[in-house]
Amino acid sequence: MNLFGFSIKRANTPEAAPTEQHSSFVAKTDEDAINIGGAPGGFFGQYVDIYGGEVKNDSDLILKYRETSLYPECDIAIDEIVTEAIVSTHTKPVSLNLDAIEGNGPLKTAIHEEFDNVLKLLSFNKKGHDLFRRWYVDGRIVFHNIIEKENPKKGIVELRYVDPSKLTKVSEDILEVDKESGVQVYKGSIEYYLYSEVLGGNQSKTLATGTYNNQAVRINKDAITYVTSGLYDPSRKRNISYLHKALKPANQLRVMEDSLVIYRLARAPERRIFYIDVGELPKKKADAYLNSIIAKYRNKQVYDANTGELKDARKHVSMLEDFFLPRSSTGRGTEITTLPGGENLGQIEDIIYFKKNLYKALNVPLSRLDPESRYSIGRSNDVTREELKFNNFVSRLRQRFSYLFLDVLKTQLMLKGLVKEDEWDSFVNEINVVYKSNTAFAELKEFEVMRDRIDILGQFTTYVGEYYSIEWIRKNILKMSDEEIADMKKQIAKEKAAGEITEEDSEAP
């Protein structure tokens, strides 16, 4: 622009140049910022959902999960679950165990290297806790696998998070009519994803009209990493979150707490009841006389600190203040009594009941949510049954969440030409994702079992060769498999040849 004869314009500096972005259907945004998207304005509303409401689509269901997760009791329980599942330390929270895959050392090395790249793409060392929480609350987590079109063998260059409320997985069945019988025959299906920024994930209406091409983006199945909770509603058509069964107790607890607050406000104060003697006055005159008494005793002078003046703060009669009731002349005059306040305001057993139901729905032991309870590490018989069930529940969550790493790892290995799809399917079940544990319970339990086996082994040693064979003891006392026995024999022979084990050491089974 020209101003007072001077030309004012932006300088062409490197800082002002736009940053390089990879091609994607979803914009890369700062998660801490609000993306206005050029909208001129908007509004934010909030309401109390007493009965849970009707869920019309997956987008509404996800928003309901997120709203419930912000409830204080739910947030504490979810944080307990996520903290137990993902342990943030100075080392990697997850790693791979490829011991079950036989041979092929170079392939194992490549898998380990690509797994480290996957963790870097996810920024899992820093965002692991947040990603697991998103997956747990939403019941699914979605990433766009971005590659360079000119060089796809470079692999995935960016994993961009996609809001699951804006994306829908679609499966179109391929049907053909049999010429002889005239019956439609299923020939297969085509799977893809629909992303809609406008509809907010509600592609059901769009699919019904068949006009989704104009309003939603169709995405190839291989370009998306889509990991669900594995849970479904009774119709088996809608994926739900682990938080789904906590919706009802959370709504019940919210209603009970709101009603308790209302009851406390209404019943806490003690109020006066004025029985005004109106004698034999007619109704209209009695009402006028009663109103004059009310106005006389309801005048209230209040000091205004802002202006320094006294002002009349006359208020209408309400349920939280005094009552004025007329009474005809029956030998009794004007009387003032007191209406007592609520006497059971401290009884909150029903609140505690619904709170326990909420924690049970989230599979969190009640002892973990008690601030006065102590945590102790001891023998397995000192661990409660609830704690053991919670440990198994977290293990199932970890196993399901591992599909995120395996799916991205598969795509990465196939793009770089390290494995083919049939090769991946042959050994994917042998890949174990190992999570760091937040407690020493599993390790203590393993050592405890091993110690008991060694104690029993010492008692059976004197009977070896007379009543029991070494093979029987290895399989029934030490619980070793045939593969473990063969590997152990090889290791013992190798250590004997190296002189690490003497003949006296090898006498025991």
Q: Do 232 and 84 share a domain, yes or no?
A: yes
208 has pLDDT over 80:
no
What is the predicted pLDDT for the residue at 484?
Answer: 81
Flag whether 109 is in a domain: yes
What is the predicted pLDDT for the residue at 404?
Answer: 94
Mean pLDDT of the chain: 76
Final residue belonging to a domain, choices 286, 318, 339: 339
Dihedral of CA 195/199/205/206: which sign?
A: negative
Q: How confident is the model at residue 14 (pLDDT cuts 50, 70, 90)?
A: very low
Q: How confident is the model at residue 323 (pLDDT cuts 50, 70, 90)?
A: low
pLDDT, tens digit, for every residue of 350-379? 788 888 888 888 888 887 777 665 555 445
Q: Do 317 and 388 share a domain, yes or no?
A: no
Flag whether 398 is in a domain: yes
Over range 208-221, report the average pLDDT. 62
d(CA 409, CA 116): 10
Following DSSP, what letter does each residue of 179-215 receive, concatenated? Answer: TTT--EEEEEEEEEEEE-TTTTT-HHHHHHHT-HHHH
Q: How confident is the model at residue 13 (pLDDT cuts 50, 70, 90)?
A: very low
CB 241 within 8 A of CB 65: yes
Q: How confident is the model at residue 506 (pLDDT cuts 50, 70, 90)?
A: low
Over range 404-431, report the average pLDDT. 90
d(CA 400, CA 394): 10
Flag whether 216 is in a domain: yes
Q: What are phi and psi of 292, to 5 degrees?
A: -65, -35
401 has pLDDT over 90:
yes
Q: Do 412 and 452 share a domain, yes or no?
A: no
d(CA 103, CA 92): 25
| 340 burial level (CB within 10 Å; 0-12, 13-18, 19+) | exposed
d(CA 405, CA 116): 10
* H or E element, residue 402: helix 385-415
Q: Do 331 and 453 share a domain, yes or no?
A: no
What is the predicted pLDDT for the residue at 315?
Answer: 53
Exposed e or buried b for every residue in 452-462, given b needs 16+ CB within 10 A?
eeeeebeeeee
Flag whether 9 is in a domain: no
Q: Picking from 214-218, 481-485, 496-500, which range would have the lowest pLDDT averaged per residue?
A: 214-218
Q: How confident is the model at residue 403 (pLDDT cuts 50, 70, 90)?
A: very high
What is the predicted pLDDT for the residue at 209?
Answer: 36
Q: Do 109 and 90 share a domain, yes or no?
A: yes
Flag whether 235 is in a domain: yes
Q: What are phi and psi of 274, to 5 degrees?
A: -100, 115
When divided into structural domains, the chain yields a total of: 3
Please state whether the predicted TM-score (pTM) of the whole model is above 0.85.
no
Flag whether 195 is in a domain: no
Q: Do 81 and 129 share a domain, yes or no?
A: yes
Final residue belonging to a domain, choices 286, 319, 339: 339
Q: How confident is the model at residue 198 (pLDDT cuts 50, 70, 90)?
A: low
Q: Between these two residues, 313 and 480, which has the higher pLDDT value?
A: 480
Q: Do 482 and 333 share a domain, yes or no?
A: no
Residue 121: name the closest of 91, 156, 153 by CA.
156
Which of 62-66, 179-183, 262-266, 273-277 is predicted most confidently?
Answer: 62-66
Final residue belonging to a domain, choices 304, 319, 339: 339
Following DSSP, what letter does each residue of 318-362 receive, concatenated? Answer: -TTS-EEEEEE-SS---EEEEE---S-TT--HHHHHHHHHHHHHT
Q: Do 73 and 55 share a domain, yes or no?
A: yes
Q: Picking from 77-86, 239-248, 292-301, 470-479, which range would have the lowest pLDDT averaged per residue?
A: 292-301
Q: How confident is the model at residue 117 (pLDDT cuts 50, 70, 90)?
A: very high
Which of 6-20, 297-311, 443-457 is predicted most confidently?
Answer: 443-457
Domain of 503, in residue numbers: 442-507
What is the predicted pLDDT for the residue at 20?
Answer: 52
Q: Picking from 210-214, 364-368, 471-475, which range would have the lowest pLDDT averaged per residue?
A: 210-214
Q: Do 233 and 106 share a domain, yes or no?
A: yes
Flag whether 85 is in a domain: yes
Q: Would you state the structure tokens that stand for residue 84, as one six-digit string?
A: 């137990």
Flag whether 144 is in a domain: yes
Q: Would you state the structure tokens that stand for residue 398, as one six-digit string?
A: 């970890």
Q: How confident is the model at residue 11 (pLDDT cuts 50, 70, 90)?
A: very low
Q: Do 221 and 122 share a domain, yes or no?
A: yes
Q: Do 300 and 434 share a domain, yes or no?
A: no
Q: How much of the chain, in percent, has pLDDT values that exceed 70? A: 69
Q: How confident is the model at residue 207 (pLDDT cuts 50, 70, 90)?
A: very low
pLDDT, tens digit, for every residue of 28-74? 554 443 343 443 444 444 444 544 556 678 888 899 999 999 988 89
Q: Do 325 and 461 share a domain, yes or no?
A: no
- Helix 72-85 to helix 58-69 angle (10° resolution) is 90
d(CA 400, CA 474): 34
What is the predicted pLDDT for the residue at 174?
Answer: 82
